[in-house]
Structures are given as C-alpha cells and as structure tokens.
C-alpha cells in the first residue's frame, strides 16, 4: 500500500482497477466452487472477495476527502463509485446468496464462522437480494445515485470556505496574541477571518466584538448554500425510496435495525430521555448566559448562536476562575502529540516510531508505526493541519486491516511554524485524543481471521465509545503534566490550573448536551419522516426552539453543511449514546488512568475483538455487568 501514498491519479487508478479485477476474480472463483464444497471453504472464498479490494477502497475514500490534487480527488471519487457499484452487485447476487443460504451453521467449526454466516445472510436480506428483478434493479440505481449524492454533498462542504472582513485590529480584541499575530492586516488594512476551524472557533470563543462574532457564525451557517440544499432534498428522497423498497417505513427504521438501539422509536426515546435529563441544567445555564450577555451588551440583548461559546468562556472565568487562554501556552501541538504517544505506550506497551522515509500525499503528512516487542504491528498517518479543499472536520480513515493494519487521521489543528508552537486549546486536545481513540480501535482490531470482523466492525452506535473514552486521558491531572509544558519556559502546567480547567469544563454542559440532542433529533426526523412532507429549513425552525435558547438565524441553512446527514444519516444520536457507555467504562479504570492493567483488559476484551461479538457482549465482558446510566448522570450533574 505504501507505494500508493504518493502516487499520481493515473497510477492510483491503475492499482485500484487491479484491485477491483482481483475482487471480481475472487467472486468468479466463489461461484465456480463445486456443489460439494464444504461450508468453511465456501466462507473462506467469500472472505477473499472482501479482502481483494480492501487496499484501494480505503485510500480512495481518504484521497477524495484530503488529497491536494484536484485530479486525484476526481479520480478517487470515480473509483469509489466503481467500488460501491461492485459491492452493490455482490449484495444483490442471488447465486451467492443461495449458496450461503444452503449452508448449515452446524457444519461450521466455531462461533466466529457461524456469526459470519449469520451476518452475511442478514446483510443480503437488508440489501434486497430477495426482491424481484425490477425493484432489485431500482435498488441498484438508488445505491449508485446515493454514492454520487454523498460525494457531491461532502465535496461542496469541503470546498466552500467563507470569510468575513474586519476593518481594523481593534476587532480582534479578546483574541490571544498568537492569533492576532497570525491575522495581520492586509495592505488595505482589512483582516480576513475564515470559517476554517483554526480561525472560526477561537474567534467565536474570545472576540469581544459581538457583531463580528454573529456575522462569522451566520456566514459559517450558510456554507454550501444554495448548492447543497437540492442535493440534500434528493438524498433524503432517495434513501426514503430505498428503505421502502427494502420493506421499511423510513430510512431511520432501516438504518437502526442492525444497531445497538434496534429501532428508530428507541432512538427517538433516547433523544427525549437525555434531553429531559439535561433540561433543568440547560435552562439555568441559559439564564446565566443571558444575564452575562446583557451585563456586557445591554439589557435588551438576546442570545444568538454567535454568543454561546463566548459567554461560556466568560462564565468559566467568573464562576471557576479559569480562562482558557491561560491553558493554551502549555498546549503546543507537538508537545500534545508527544503526550498522546506517551499515553499509548504507557497503557498498551507499544512504542510509536516515526517513519520519515515514507512519502505521503502531502508534505504535512507524517507516517508512524506502532511497535510491539520489537516488531511493527500497525501503521498510521497523520494529516493534521488545514489547507484548501481538505475535509474540514476531524476523522479517522480506515485504510486496510490485512497484513499491517493501517489508518489515517485527518484533522484541522493549528500548525506549528517557526517560533509559533501551534497552540491548542483544551477542546482541541480533546479532539486529538478522541480521534486517536478511533485509530487505536481500528489498528488493534486488525488481522482478524475473517475480514468482515476486522477493524472497527462493531455496531455503528458503538464506534464512538473508544474515542470518547480516550478523551479522559487528555484532561487527567495525572497525565497532563507529562506533556502540557509551557512552550517558552518548559514548566509543566500547574496542578491548580489543571484543577480549575477541569472544574470549568462543566460550564455550559447542559446546553452542550441539548445542542447535541438538537442535531440528533434533526438527523433522526430528516430520515424518519416522508421527505415529501417537510422542508429541511422549516424542520430546523420547528425543532430548534425545543432544544436551544438561540433562534434560527434568518437566511442561514445549517443543514447544507451538516456533513453527518450523509455519513451518519439518522444516527447522530450515536455520539450521546456512546458517551453514556464511555462514562460507564471510564469508571472501570479507577483513579489511576495510567495503570496499564485495565487498559490492556480494554484492548483484549473490546478493542481487539473487532466485530466478532455484539457490542453489548463486549461491554458486559469488560464491565462484568450490563452498562447503565449512573456514571453519565453523575457527569451531567457534575
């Protein structure tokens, strides 16, 4: 795989088509097996079909989102569509299904093989293999269209970076010195602030100029408009039609069936339950924020989306004596990254070694190996900083699980540059640990006997548990002093500053939870309602007052840049569902987060299992009981 990391579009296209040809050949070999072929041999032949295309499938997804060359992004998108078409072809192949359906689970030697057969038959059913020819062909058409729609939706978001113009440096008041230095006036005296995360988030947190904050928030909430609005409408309609063909009332009903939560009704009940739990705290916090706003900006001021992060910082300072800007000098990017590596080594007994000789798709990208007992066991790539036409959030991209498992992290964090250490704030430290939680899950779950169970192959509403759990190490008072050192003096972050920071983290927690539930409710309703019956903008206007004290901003369309509506569809509830589980698991680590014993049990019983067992069983094995909401409730009240 490494020879493709710096390939041009033509070379990558040839390699990807070779992989597709290999997958087609593996499918042909499966079909050619004689009727007397044993059950285990038949499953092994099925397994080889998935393995054949693994290498280029992961890279095409990554390159489409993060490659700097437009020709490569275009080629990767085309390859992804071809790969998806082959996957659809396989999932609707009645001959393959018939061979598998004729097998007896009793003829298989172990639980893993029986589970593989059970899941394969389930997935064929959910794909529509049982349908008559005409609706099956319509399923094929819709699947192909949805891939194209998703690519268009995502690339429009990535390519639409907007900005506001400040008239003078006075409008940067409140911003940290390094931010101000990085935003010097142009020749005409104006200053550009973009919607890219390293610009956008600090400005909303610290800028005292309220009108500019609101302007920037409005601009950000208008990204990908108007282009993505008809794309979203068609995406909703196509998924609704597909769900109907497959025997479901809605896409939400279809997509939740094979998740931990099982039904869209249960997902809605979960959203309502968590929203109700957070409501008293959120209402009190909203009142505090409004009072703070009016104290600074006048008695008639009403809270807007562009105020929330700023007011949260003000209240952290007034209630807890903590200013996020005081923590940033201790959180240089390279120091924090080194801290993540140190934690991984301490917990799991693996070293992180850089591989500078590996040339990747951009000069920013760095390659690393996880080394255990002297041998590489996994490889990963870090693409950490913003650039044009790159994916705008943070995500892990699966690359391969065969041989040496590989994955890439794509983020948009501050870039160290000369004397500028690329200072992070605590929320960005949280993001980095979060994404490494995904990375470790994928890498430790590689190398399974069955390809379908390798990597992050659990139910989708479990996948955020390892990532949200790993966030705990990014704020631990035992861990932070190991890497949080002042970029100028080298002094560790003082214990009292860490204590104030962690106490202040709870500020605005109720409102934060309710905002997450707004996104969860919006995504669920988009996919549980008939898309012909509602307008996506009107739906936001209907739901937002139920969850947020801030009004919908006229002329904005947040949904046009809500990328999760493609990737997660109705499943945004996953983040809070997983958080309830992560808080329960965190309690099992006890007071010493650097004790390797529970971490290695977590690796053995959960991370390394991949998709071999249901998530409920993994959790019960680790916790010794069924999970509950006790720890989450304590966190919410904290």
| Residue 571: closest CA among 322, 258, 211 | 258
Residues near 211 by beta carbon (within 8 Å), at least 6 away in sequence: none
Q: Give residue-wise pLDDT tens across range 458-498.
A: 999 999 999 999 999 999 999 999 999 999 999 999 999 99
Confidence of residue 55 (pLDDT cuts 50, 70, 90): confident
Confidence of residue 402 (pLDDT cuts 50, 70, 90): confident
Range 577-589 average pLDDT: 96
pLDDT higher than 90, residue 123: yes
Task: Please report, for residues 154, 439, 570, 577, the alpha-carbon distance to residue 574 in angstroms, rounded to integers and kept in the order given.
Answer: 20, 18, 9, 5
Tell me the percentage of the chain whose pLDDT exceeds 90.
Answer: 97
Indicate the SS3 state at residue 411.
coil
pLDDT of residue 630: 94
Q: How far is residue 327 CA from its own chain's centroid?
A: 26
What SS3 string covers 547-593?
A: HCCCCCCCCCCHHHHCCHHHHCCCHHHHHHHHHHHHHHHHHCCCCCC
Q: How far is residue 340 CA from its own chain's centroid?
A: 18
Look at 178-192, 199-213, 528-542, 600-614 and tell me which has the smallest mean pLDDT: 178-192
pLDDT higher than 90, residue 53: no
How many Å apart are CA 442 and CA 460, to the nearest integer? Answer: 13
How many Å apart are CA 371 and CA 351, to the nearest integer? Answer: 5
CB atoms within 10 A of CB 422: 22
Indicate the SS3 state at residue 193.
strand
How many Å apart are CA 615 and CA 458, to the nearest integer? Answer: 6
Range 22-31 average pLDDT: 98
Range 62-86 average pLDDT: 97
Residue 378's Cβ-count burial label (10 Å; 0-12, 13-18, 19+) is buried
Q: What is the dihedral of CA 433, 629, 498, 217, to 10 degrees?
A: 70
Q: What is the CATH number of domain 2-91+93-127?
A: 1.20.1050.40
Q: Give the predicted TM-score (pTM) of the model.
A: 0.95
Q: Give residue-wise pLDDT tens across range 232-273.
A: 999 999 999 999 999 999 999 999 999 999 999 999 999 999
Range 20-39 average pLDDT: 97
Range 320-338 average pLDDT: 96
Range 318-325 average pLDDT: 95
CB atoms within 10 A of CB 122: 12
Q: Give residue-wise pLDDT tens across range 140-175.
A: 999 999 999 999 999 999 999 999 999 999 999 999
Q: Give residue-wise pLDDT tens across range 496-543.
A: 999 999 999 999 999 999 999 999 999 999 999 999 999 999 999 999
Residues near 455 by beta carbon (within 8 Å), at least 6 away in sequence: 398, 401, 405, 442, 445, 446, 610
- For 366, the token pair is 């760095």
384 and 422 Cβ atoms separated by less than 8 Å:
no
pLDDT of residue 54: 87
How many Å apart are CA 535 and CA 557, to the nearest integer? Answer: 11
Range 54-67 average pLDDT: 94
What residues form DSSP beta bridges with 194?
Answer: 163
pLDDT higher than 90, residue 91: yes
How many Å apart are CA 173 and CA 193, to the nearest integer? Answer: 13
- The average confidence (pLDDT) of the chain is 97
The residue written with tokens 């505090």 in the block is 288
Look at 386-395, 405-414, 433-442, 523-532 and tell me which has the smallest mean pLDDT: 386-395
How many Å apart are CA 445 and CA 413, to the nearest integer? Answer: 27
Ordered by start, the domain boundaries in the chain are: 2-91+93-127, 160-220
pLDDT of residue 1: 85
39 and 114 Cβ atoms separated by less than 8 Å:
no
Q: Give residue-wise pLDDT tens across range 341-389.
A: 999 999 999 999 999 999 999 999 999 999 999 999 999 999 999 999 9
């Amino acid at each position: 795989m490494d020879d493709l990391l710096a390939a041009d579009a033509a070379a990558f296209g040839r390699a990807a088509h070779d992989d597709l040809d290999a997958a087609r050949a593996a499918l042909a070999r499966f079909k050619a097996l004689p009727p007397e072929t044993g059950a285990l041999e038949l499953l092994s032949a099925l397994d080889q079909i998935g393995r054949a295309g693994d290498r280029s499938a992961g890279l095409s997804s990554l390159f489409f989102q993060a490659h700097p060359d437009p020709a490569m992004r275009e080629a990767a998108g085309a390859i992804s569509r071809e790969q998806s078409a082959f996957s659809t072809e396989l999932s609707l192949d009645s001959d393959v299904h018939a061979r598998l359906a004729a097998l007896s689970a009793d003829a298989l030697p172990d639980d893993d093989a029986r589970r593989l057969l059970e899941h394969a038959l389930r997935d064929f059913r959910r794909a529509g293999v049982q349908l008559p020819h005409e609706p099956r062909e319509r399923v094929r058409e819709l699947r192909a269209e949805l891939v194209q729609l998703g690519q268009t939706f995502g690339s429009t978001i990535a390519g639409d970076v907007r900005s506001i113009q400040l008239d003078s440096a006075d409008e940067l008041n409140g911003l940290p010195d390094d931010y101000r230095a990085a935003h010097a006036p142009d020749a005409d005296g104006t200053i550009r602030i973009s919607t890219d995360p390293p610009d956008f988030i600090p400005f909303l947190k610290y800028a005292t100029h309220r009108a500019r904050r609101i302007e920037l928030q409005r601009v950000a909430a208008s990204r990908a408009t108007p282009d993505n609005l008809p794309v979203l409408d068609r995406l909703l309609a196509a998924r609704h039609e597909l769900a109907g063909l497959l025997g479901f009332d809605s896409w939400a009903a279809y997509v939740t069936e094979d998740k931990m939560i099982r039904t869209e009704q249960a997902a809605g009940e979960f959203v309502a339950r968590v929203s109700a739990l957070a409501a008293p705290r959120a209402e009190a916090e909203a009142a505090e924020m409004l009072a703070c706003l009016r104290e600074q900006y006048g008695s008639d001021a009403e809270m807007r989306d562009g105020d929330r992060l700023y007011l949260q910082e003000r209240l952290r300072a007034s209630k807890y004596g903590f200013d996020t800007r005081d923590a940033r000098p201790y959180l240089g990017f390279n120091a924090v990254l080194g801290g993540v590596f140190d934690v991984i080594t301490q917990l799991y007994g693996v070293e992180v070694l850089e591989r500078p000789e590996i040339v990747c798709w951009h000069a920013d990208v760095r390659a690393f190996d996880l080394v255990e007992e002297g041998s590489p066991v996994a490889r990963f790539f870090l693409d950490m900083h913003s650039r044009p036409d790159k994916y705008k959030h943070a995500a892990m991209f699966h690359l391969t699980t065969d041989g040496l498992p590989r994955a890439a992290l794509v983020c948009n964090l501050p870039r160290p540059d000369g004397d500028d250490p690329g200072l992070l704030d605590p929320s960005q430290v949280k993001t980095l640990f979060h994404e490494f939680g995904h990375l470790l899950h994928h890498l430790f779950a590689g190398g399974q006997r069955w390809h379908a169970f390798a990597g992050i192959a659990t139910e989708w509403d479990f996948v955020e548990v390892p990532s949200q759990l790993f966030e705990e190490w990014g704020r631990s008072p035992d861990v932070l002093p190991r890497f949080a050192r002042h970029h100028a003096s080298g002094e560790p972050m003082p214990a009292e500053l860490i204590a104030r920071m962690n106490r202040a983290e709870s500020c605005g927690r109720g409102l934060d939870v309710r905002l997450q539930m707004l996104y969860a409710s919006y995504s669920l309703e988009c996919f549980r309602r008939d898309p012909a019956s509602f307008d996506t903008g009107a739906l936001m206007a209907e739901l937002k007052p139920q969850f947020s004290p801030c009004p919908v901003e006229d002329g904005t369309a947040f949904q046009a840049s809500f990328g999760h509506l493609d990737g997660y569809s109705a499943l945004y509830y996953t983040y809070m569902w997983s958080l309830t589980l992560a808080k329960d698991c965190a309690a099992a680590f006890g007071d010493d987060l650097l004790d390797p014993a529970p971490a290695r049990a977590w690796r053995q019983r959960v991370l390394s299992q991949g998709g071999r067992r249901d998530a409920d069983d993994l959790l019960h094995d680790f916790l010794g009981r069924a999970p509950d909401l006790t720890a989450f409730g304590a966190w919410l009240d904290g």
